[in-house]
Amino acid sequence: MAESTPPSRNEPPHDDTRVLRALSVLEQLAAAGQPFSLSQLSARLHIPKATLMRLIESLEAYGYVMHMPDSRGTDRGIALGPRAAQLALATLANNTFTRACRSLLRSLVDTLGETCNLTALDGDTVLYVERVETSEPLRLQMQPGTRVPLHCTASGKLFLAQMPAAERRLVLARLPLKRMTNRTLTELSLLEAELDRLAVRGIGVDNEEFVRGMVAVAVPVRDPDDRHVLACLATHAPTARANLNDLLEVVPTLKAMAVRMAPLLQTVKSGGGIA
C-alpha cells in the first residue's frame, strides 16, 4: 500500500485549513457588523462559492452563523449566530477587558446611582456585553448575554438612529415591532420620525417603551479613528426614582465615560473580540 504524502511544512493539513477557513468567516462577519451575501464573503475571503456554502451550512448547523431575511423576506444575508456571541462573551469574561470595563462601569454607577450597561449590536437585537447593577433594591435585573429588541430600547434606538438611511430601512422592514408597553412605538412612520430626532441629538431614549415603569438613555461609544459606533453606554432607572428628563441631565457624564471606554473597545475589536 502506498504511503500517503504528508503535507509540506508551508501548507497546513486539510483539517487545519477547514478550521482556519471557518475562523476567517467568523472574523469577517464580526468585523463587518452587518450581514454579507455568499458572493460578498466569497470575494473577500477568496474561497470558492461551493466550498464556502458547505462551510456556512456546517457553521449554521452549530449556531455560529445564521441567515438574515432581506426586505423581501428572502434569506440572503449571512450574519453571526447566537453561539458566536456566546463565544465572544466567554472570551471577554476571561481577559483584562472585563475587569477594565467593569471598573469604569462601577465608577459610573457610583456617580449616577443607577444601573449602567455596555451594549453591542448583534444582528437585529441589542446584546448586553457588560453590566453593573445599582445597589438600590428596586431595579431591573438582566445578565450579560441577554438580548433585547432594537425598536423599544435606548441602545437599540440609538443603533438604528446612527445607521445610514438605506440600512435602517432594510432593518426596520424585517423587525417585528412588538408592543411591549402602551408607550412602545409600533407604527413605522412614528418610529422613523423618532429615530430621525435621536440621530440629530446623538442619543437613544426609552420612555417606558420596553418595560413599564423603567426609563433609559444611551450614548454611543465611538471608534476614536473613524467615529464608527462600536457600542452603546446606557443607564436606566425606575420611574419611582427618576423620570426621563432626570436621565437626560446625566448625558454629559455618560458621554465623558464613553470617551474613556472607546480605547478598550477599539482594542477588543481589532482582536476580533466584539462584533
pLDDT band at 93 (very low <50, low <70, confident <90, very high): low
Mean pLDDT of the chain: 84
Q: Which pLDDT score, from 0 to 100, does residue 264 have?
A: 83
- The set of cell numbers assigned to 271 is 482582536
pLDDT mean over 94-112: 86
Distance of alpha carbon 226 from alpha carbon 257, whole angstroms:
18
pLDDT of residue 43: 87
pLDDT score for 211: 96
Give the three cell numbers for residue 96: 483584562
Cα(212)–Cα(216) distance, rounded to whole angstroms?
12
**pLDDT-based confidence at residue 161 (cuts at 50, 70, 90):** very high
Q: How confident is the model at residue 7 (pLDDT cuts 50, 70, 90)?
A: very low
Q: What's the CATH fold of domain 14-80?
A: Arc Repressor Mutant, subunit A (1.10.10)
Full-model pTM: 0.69
Q: Which residue has the higher pLDDT, 170 or 232?
A: 232
Q: Where are the alpha helices (DSSP H) in the chain?
A: 14-32, 38-45, 49-61, 82-92, 96-112, 154-162, 165-174, 188-201, 244-248, 251-270
Q: According to the model, what pLDDT value does residue 201 have?
A: 96
> What are the pLDDT digits (tens) for 206-217?
999 999 999 999
Do the domains 84-270 and 14-80 match in fold?
no
Higher pLDDT, 78 or 181: 181
- Assign 26 a pLDDT band (cuts: 50, 70, 90): confident
Give the pLDDT score at 36. 83
Range of 3-7, 32-36, 119-123, 190-194 with top mean pLDDT:
190-194
Fold of 84-270: Beta-Lactamase (3.30.450)
The single-letter DSSP state of residue 150 is S
C-beta separation of 252 from 111 below 8 A: no
The answer, yes or no, to whether residue 131 has pLDDT greater than 70, is yes
DSSP state, residue 262:
H
Spatial separation of the C-alpha atoms in residues 23 and 250, rounded to whole Å:
41
Residue 71: is its pLDDT beyond 60? no
Quote the percentage of the chain above a pLDDT of 70: 82
- What is the distance between the alpha carbons of residues 230 and 88, in angstroms, rounded to a whole number? 15
Q: Where are the domains of the chain?
A: 14-80, 84-270
Q: What is the pLDDT of residues 228-256, one digit of tens each?
A: 888 999 999 999 999 999 999 999 999 99
